[in-house]
Amino acid sequence: MTKKKILLAGESWVSTATHIKGFDQFPTVTYHTGADELLKALKDSPFDVTFMPAHEAQRDFPTTLGGLEAYDAIVLSDIGANTLLLHPDTWIHSRRTPNRLKLIRDYVAKGGALLMFGGYYSFQGINGGARFRNTAVEEVLPVSCLAFDDRVEVPEGFTPVVSGDASHPILKGITGELPYLLGFNEVTLKDGAEQLMTVSSEYGSLPLLVTGTYGEGRSLVWTSDVGPHWLPPEFIAWPDYKTLFEQMLAWATGLATD
């Protein structure tokens, strides 16, 4: 069977630190990736995943509909709207370039799939900086973004609640209590969307896993993370971590049907 092609954009960042040792100091720069465990889980699966770190996506994320159509699904995970809006040709050289958020919308309308996973630069994000509210990407999603910082930090942890039909292809085989999560992006459910999981009632039973359709395509959101810090090692070690994310992709790409 030919594997479904997935483009995962985001999940990388660079940090700087200043180390002060008495009179002396020196700086360091560290490159981080947040999708390592997810990519490992999907390695032996029906999916051929291309990982495009955030710093590469600014330049290399497809700028044509045909480029997007090379993939069966696009995953945006912890990557803000500015990275896709401000191609270096526009940002540095003031040249006109395609609006890649609109291209994603058109791609889904024609039968593609879009998944957005949560993080500090997903949905509306930290300090509102992810900026997907009132964009073409939000139009496709089965949820609406808030107008401000949407992060909900839950340091004590919360247990996800399965609210959808257990026979749904994404939930198939997922039994028992799920491991705890440490935070999520707050969103609101759109009319016609199907909510499969929520956060705990203590946090308002807000959406966690939601599916929807747009035009001829499908969309899905998971409003928590795919790895630390919101998704802790205990969740990664859960036997159904791989199953859950595989079945999200299978539903989105049509490998599994409702």
Provide CB contacts within 8 A for 19, sequence distance 6+.
25, 26, 27, 28
The pLDDT assigned to 258 comes to 60
Average confidence (pLDDT) over 65-83: 99
Provide CB contacts within 8 A for 97, sequence distance 6+.
63, 87, 89, 90
Give tens-digit pLDDT for 122-175. 999 999 999 999 999 999 999 999 999 999 999 999 999 999 999 999 999 998
CATH topology of domain 4-253: Rossmann fold (3.40.50)
Query: What CA–CA distances, in Å, run from 84 to 57, 162, 248, 252?
Result: 7, 33, 24, 22
When the pLDDT of each residue in the chain is averaged and rounded to a whole number, the result is: 98
Q: Which run of H or E residues covers position 211?
A: strand 207-214
User: Could you give phi then psi for residue 158, rounded to 5 degrees?
Assistant: -135, 155
Listed in sequence order, the DSSP H helices in the chain are 36-41, 54-60, 65-68, 81-85, 88-91, 100-109, 136-140, 233-237, 240-253
Task: Check pLDDT > 70 for residue 38.
Answer: yes
Average confidence (pLDDT) over 51-71: 99
The pLDDT assigned to 220 comes to 99
The pLDDT assigned to 148 comes to 98
Distance CA 106, CA 136 (A): 9
Distance CA 209, CA 194 (A): 9
**For residue 22, which amino acid is it?**
G
Task: Check pLDDT > 90 for residue 257.
Answer: no
Tell me what percent of the residues of the chain surpass a pLDDT of 90: 98
For the chain, helix, strand, coil in percent to 5 are 25, 30, 40
Provide CB contacts within 8 A for 227, sequence distance 6+.
11, 34, 35, 36, 37, 38, 236
Task: Check pLDDT > 80 for residue 1.
Answer: no
Task: Check pLDDT > 70 for residue 179.
Answer: yes
Provide CB contacts within 8 A for 166, sequence distance 6+.
172, 174
Query: What CA–CA distances, in Å, run from 5 to 16, 41, 71, 96, 249?
Result: 34, 16, 5, 29, 10
Residue ranges of domains in the chain = 4-253
* C-beta atoms surrounding 96 within 10 Å: 8
Give tens-digit pLDDT for 200-249. 999 999 999 999 999 999 999 999 999 999 999 999 999 999 999 999 99
Reported confidence tier of residue 256, pLDDT bands at 50, 70, 90? confident
Average confidence (pLDDT) over 76-100: 99
